[in-house]
Structure 1
Amino acid sequence: MSGTYILGVVFSVFVFAMILLGMRNSRMKEKYAIVWVLIGVVVLVVSLFPDTLTWAARLIGVVVPLNLGFFLSGVVLLLISLQFSIDLSRVDEEKRVLAENLALLETRVAELEHAAKTLGPKGDS
């Protein structure tokens, strides 16, 4: 087994360890952990069985197996970026709605405080 494949195994073990630590410390949600576990499994399989990438490249018709690896890596990164953009847009919208609700509540509190001051200490006006 060459150094490149050993590096792949070490990287996949590192990814698994980071996922477990992230989930244990509640820094990583399960939906993101699943994606990274799948990436780690694919890297581990390709590292342990390098002919898998060669077989897949021949099946698809790619001449250089490493080119297939780079292409698939780019697609995965693109999909992860797309998912993060969608999540960020959703969180941004939720933040906007929360800010609007906060402004309405602050206005209501100010109105009630003003009404309480005009009524006096006992509310006998």
Structure 2
Amino acid sequence: MGNTVAAFVFAALMVGIVLELVRRKIFREKYAALWLIIGASALVLAGWPDLLNSVSKLLGIQVASNLLFAMCIVLILGVCLHLSWELSVVEDENRTLAEEVAILRASVERLEADFQRVPRLARQSGEPTSVGLEGPSAPCPTDD
């Protein structure tokens, strides 16, 4: 009976922590769903400990803990597969953003070079300019 209470308290605590993390927007809902399913399953197994024995006999597994370990391994493989997929998506987005930043950086450098060339060309032609390296000149105060 003590093991059942401890397992039930642990499962309820896990569900509570996940719900609190979602409420505080620390944990995203798409990841929380998986952990809530795991927590609910743990609550069911903690509430009805003979359920695992019944399911293992139904599936032809001699030891109930082997079924539990097999379910955990499948779950871990599923989580790893999902995280690998998420990582691939993030890497693609990161590469795209890096390419866009490189294009923008090249555009800015080209514009800066053009901007610095304008005053030089105007001085060579003898025309007065209002735009220098520091930017537009301030208007002169007038005597009214």
Do the structures match in fold with TM over 0.5?
yes
| 1:32-47 pair list within 5 angstroms | 32-47=31-46
Larger Rg: 2
Instruction: Normalising by structure 1, report the TM-score.
Output: 0.90
1:98 aligns with 2:87: no
| 1:119 partner letter | V
Consecutive unaligned residues of structure 2, counting only runs of 5 or more, are 120-128, 132-144
Q: Which residue number corresponds to residue 113 of structure 1? A: 112
Q: Which residue number corresponds to residue 61 of structure 1? A: 60
* Structure (1 or 2) with the greater helix fraction: 1
Identity across matched positions, percent:
34
Of the two structures, which has the highest relative contact order with CA contacts closer than 8 Å and spacing of 6 or more? Answer: 1
Q: Which residue number corresponds to residue 4 of structure 2? A: 5
Structure 1 stretches of at least 4 aligned residues deviating more than 3 Å after TM superposition: none
- Find the aligned partners of 1:115 and 1:122 in 2 and give their Cα distance: 16
| 1:34 partner letter | A
Consecutive unaligned residues of structure 1, counting only runs of 5 or more, are none
- Find the aligned partners of 2:77 and 2:4 in 1 and give their Cα distance: 25
| 2:40 partner letter | V
- Find the aligned partners of 2:80 and 2:6 in 1 and give their Cα distance: 25
Q: Which residue number corresponds to residue 73 of structure 1? A: 72
- Find the aligned partners of 1:7 and 1:90 in 2 and give their Cα distance: 39
| 2:5 partner letter | I
Deviation at 1:108, TM superposition (A): 0.5
Root-mean-square deviation (Å): 1.4
